[in-house]
Amino acid sequence: MNKQEVTLTENEALSQQISRVSKKYHQKEANIQRLEEELERETIRRRHLEEVKEEAVIILRHILMCPEDLPEAQWKIWRLVEILNTAAPQRTGLTSNNSRRKASRGQKLHSSNPESLIHHL
């Protein structure tokens, strides 16, 4: 092999190495972008959950401080359930159906006897 062929072979090897490194770089850049987007979504979700928690605390505090105001307490309990349902992760399948059945049974029980719900708090 002459000097020119050696240089050409080395250039070819360097070109392939640059190509591999460039591919890895772009994969890592895409992964960083995906992770930044995921972090942003989780940050927004965490803020939302904090707001839900704060509203739930206010509602529960009012219910516990004024249990004699049954109609107001009942409305606030349903509002609390609504808030918590919007904050809960969406499930599919059997677990979701079981949860809905339990919730509807509880709703029937408590709507027929709302005082029982307050006493369980």
The tokens for 27 are 């994969």
DSSP-assigned letter for residue 88: S
Q: Find tokens 């890592």 and name the residue.
A: 28
Q: Per the confidence metrics, is the pTM higher than 0.75? A: no
Q: What is the pLDDT of residue 91?
A: 59
The reported pLDDT for the residue numbered 4 is 86
Q: Which range of residues forms the domain containing residue 23?
A: 3-120
pLDDT at 119: 45
How many domains, in total, are found in the chain?
Answer: 1
DSSP 41-87: HHHHHHHHHHHHHHHHHHHHHHHHH-TT-HHHHHHHHHHHHHHHHHH
Positions of the chain with pLDDT lower than 50, given as ranges: 93-97, 99-100, 102-121
- Helix, strand, coil percentages (3-state) for the chain, rounded to 5, are 90, 0, 10
